[in-house]
Amino acid sequence: MIPPRMPIAIVRLDDLSAAVEIAQSLVAGGLTALEYTLTNNAALHAVEQARAALGEAAQIGVGTVLSGAQARDAIAAGAQFLVTPVLRRDVIAEGATQGVPVVCGAYTPTEIWEAWQAGAPFVKLFPARSLGPSFVRDVLAPLPMLKLIPTGGVDLDNCADYLQAGAYSVGIGGNLVAAKLVAARDWAELTRRARAFVAACTRQSLPQ
């Protein structure tokens, strides 16, 4: 299950040859939910590798799932949750059939409600950068049962604001798993960034 109030690390890269090292570095920094997106054809192999390396240390999901067929392939590869960027009822249905939670993308209040009504246990508010934490608070006022996960534009300065507004979690991509950082294989810095996001989202102080 996706942990509440903790960031989901989104790995959206052109090169996933270091998928295991990326996953290990993020987990070392305290993040326990990782998403590899299908924008890279090697994503499913990355999921298989990460699951084998990490065991139960993290929940590994697949993002940018756009069809029921992709959902089935992702689950077969070991995905423990599925993420869509848009409202996809076929993905929600496939996840429900196989007992795998779906974080379904939505933008407007109507789309958010339709995703929830279709059976998505979580709704990805995307792109959140154009909406902000106040939108989360406003939507949850009449619909407090929703589990919203804002994604897109979430950074160290606003992640806690989204959570304080009532978001279940947040998704963090390029502001955490940067392509240049991975290309440099600077795993210590990736772990430091992960730790910084955990601290910022929970408003904790990092040890000096």
pTM here? 0.95
Residue carrying the six token digits 């929830």: 116
Instruction: Give the whole-angstrom CA distance, residue 65 versus residue 85.
Output: 8
Residues 6+ apart with CB under 8 A from 66: 38, 84, 85, 86, 88, 91
Alpha helices in 17-67 (DSSP H): 19-28, 43-54
Q: Exposed, middle or buried: residue 83 (CB in 10 Å: 0-12, 13-18, 19+)?
A: buried
Per-residue pLDDT of the chain (208 residues; tens, 9 = 90+): 788 999 999 999 999 999 999 999 999 999 999 999 999 999 999 999 999 999 999 999 999 999 999 999 999 999 999 999 999 999 999 999 999 999 999 999 999 999 999 999 999 999 999 999 999 999 999 999 999 999 999 999 999 999 999 999 999 999 999 999 999 999 999 999 999 999 999 875 445 4
Q: Retrieve residue 68's tokens.
A: 């029921």
Known catalytic residues? 35, 124
pLDDT digits (tens, 9 = 90+) for 83-127: 999 999 999 999 999 999 999 999 999 999 999 999 999 999 999
CATH architecture of 8-201: Alpha-Beta Barrel (3.20)
Q: Where are the domains of the chain?
A: 8-201
Give me the pLDDT at residue 203, please. Answer: 77
At residue 3, the pLDDT reads: 87
pLDDT at 202: 83
